[in-house]
Amino acid sequence: MISILIIDDEVSMLRGIEFHLQESTNYRIYTASDRKTAIDLLNTHEFDLVVSDLMLPEIVDGLAIIQAAKTQWYLPSVLAMTAFDSVENAVNAMKAGADDFISKGFGLDEMSLRIDNMLEKKKHVDRLSIENRILRETIQKQFSDYQIVGKSSKIISLMKKVQKVAADAKVTCLIEGESGTGKELVASAIHDLSTRKNGTFVAVNTGGIPKDLIASELFGHLKGSFTGAISDKKGKFEEAHKGSLFLDEISTMDVPVQISLLRVLETSLIERVGSIKPIKVDVRIICASNDDLQKLIEKQKFREDLYYRLNVFNIELPPLRKRKQDIPYLIKYFRTLFNLELNKAIKEITAPALQVLKEYSWPGNVRELRNVLLRAVLAAEDVLDVNHLPTELTKNKLGSEIISFRAGTPLSEVERTMILQTLNAVNGNKLKAAEILGITRRSLYNKLEDYNIKDKNL
């Protein structure tokens, strides 16, 4: 069935066109009378044709809608219409991307003929676009296994990058992004889409391992090499032989371990703690960081030569607040997933609940959205409403206090103030403060040490 979106702020005109086109049983008609509704529909549906008033309510709005329609990956045809038939309006519409232009003095039969001609042309001209659409849908289905879901340009670009780096099973990769954006999921996808997929994918959160044990965890140790080493042990590199090793929170590594890691990248050899016998390993290394590694290099906390060896291929994960048009797709995905996992039958999410979820800033990114929906699905019966969502979604986590700084304030002072204010707002809960600030708990502890912030300051 052909999907058509009609946009006009004159309700009588809108209803007249809708009624006329509904005579065709092959059309599914959607309508919008304002710019926001139109953009939301364009982002959450796939239309074959968009018919838009150019003057909605000003020409800038009409042009914006046309441009938004033509940037959608499903590439709808666009018919612009206006009550003011002029060469200038026609030129503006075509520059914005409209495929055809029609005056509102038309008869509805004339409009139907234009639409039929445009759709017929689309069948022949857009064959490559249709093939691309099928390819993208296949990619999206493939990536949904890793909870990488969405249709925004940012997420499509991410999927292409993952496929590109996966094709070379040896190149190292650095994944950067805020906490909760899905760095381990992306790393797992890279592994599974590569020729190493039959090997083991080993994930290590280096920030969660005591500094005096990190070398043993990564490279293994011999019995008796240190207190507590009661037997020989393989390290994560040996476990990942012929596979992939994902090192999360790479910024937390001490410099001596960074030197050892650099040596492995250069020689493909490791030595267990307490041994001088080298062991050959074949491992693709994928690293991730929430912190700005280049800033750590400036502070001499991260080796520059290691950074360039790890950052052969870079993937930056966008925070959820910068790809909000993907939220409806993520909601649908998680609702379906949790219905299956929890034996629930949530059939609908109300419009007010959806609005709350779309407008929230999501400091914890996709991980936070997943956890919110998990709790909401557990609480709901068949319809998920606002009352099933946590109250913090409808208010600012940091209250209404406004923090201002004078021009020229050093960034270090701004950062120190924001950390203090955030910690005070969450009653000193460092885990929660780290999530709100978009950094790891280890990074927060490092910053507290750098700025000499102690509990007595809170």
pLDDT given for residue 74 in this prediction: 74
Q: How far apart are CA 414 and CA 419, in angstroms?
A: 9
pLDDT given for residue 125 in this prediction: 60
pLDDT given for residue 185 in this prediction: 92
Who's near 128: CB < 8 A, 6+ residues apart? none
pLDDT given for residue 278 in this prediction: 93
Assigned superfamily of 149-316: P-loop containing nucleotide triphosphate hydrolases (3.40.50.300)
456: which DSSP letter? G
The tens place of each residue's pLDDT in the chain, 458 residues long, gives 788 999 998 888 888 888 888 877 788 899 998 888 998 888 878 888 999 988 776 666 788 888 889 888 778 899 988 776 667 777 777 887 888 888 877 778 888 888 988 888 877 665 555 445 544 554 456 566 677 888 888 988 998 899 999 998 889 999 999 999 999 999 999 999 999 999 999 999 998 898 889 999 999 999 888 888 889 999 999 999 999 999 999 999 999 999 999 999 999 999 999 998 999 999 999 999 988 999 999 999 999 999 999 999 999 999 999 999 999 989 988 888 888 888 888 888 888 888 889 889 899 999 999 999 999 999 998 889 888 998 888 664 444 444 555 666 777 777 888 888 888 777 788 888 887 887 888 888 888 888 888 775 55
End-to-end CA distance of the chain: 61
CATH match for 322-394 among 3.30.1360.10, 1.10.3720.10, 1.10.8.60, 1.10.3210.10: 1.10.8.60
Sequence letter at residue 382: D
- The CATH class of the 2-125 domain is alpha beta
294: which DSSP letter? H
Q: How far apart are CA 442 and CA 447, in angstroms?
A: 9
Q: How far apart are CA 164 and CA 168, in angstroms?
A: 7
CA distances from 71 to 64, 65, 198, 379 (A): 11, 10, 38, 38
- Residue bearing tokens 């490279």: 219
Q: How far apart are CA 395 and CA 281, in angstroms?
A: 51
Any idea what the Cα angle at residue 403 is, between residues 296 and 416, rounded to 5°?
A: 25
Q: Which residue ranges make up each domain of the chain?
A: 2-125, 149-316, 322-394, 411-457
What is the fold, at CATH topology level, of the domain defined by 411-457? Arc Repressor Mutant, subunit A (1.10.10)
What backbone torsions phi and psi does residue 171 show, to the nearest 5 degrees? -65, 135
Reduce the DSSP state of residue 390 to 3 states and report it.
coil
pLDDT given for residue 142 in this prediction: 58
Helix (H) / strand (E) containing 337:
helix 327-342
In the chain, % helix, strand, coil (3-state, to 5) comes to: 50, 15, 35
Domains 2-125 and 149-316 share a fold: yes
The secondary structure of 105-165 as a DSSP string is: TS-HHHHHHHHHHHHHHHHHHTHHHHHHHHHHHHHHHHHHTTT----SHHHHHHHHHHHHH
- Of 84, 87, 86, residue with least CA distance to 56: 84
Does residue 319 contact residue 362 with C-beta atoms inside 8 Å?
Answer: yes
Enumerate the β-bridge partners of residue 176: 289, 316
Q: How far apart are CA 416 and CA 141, in angstroms?
A: 43
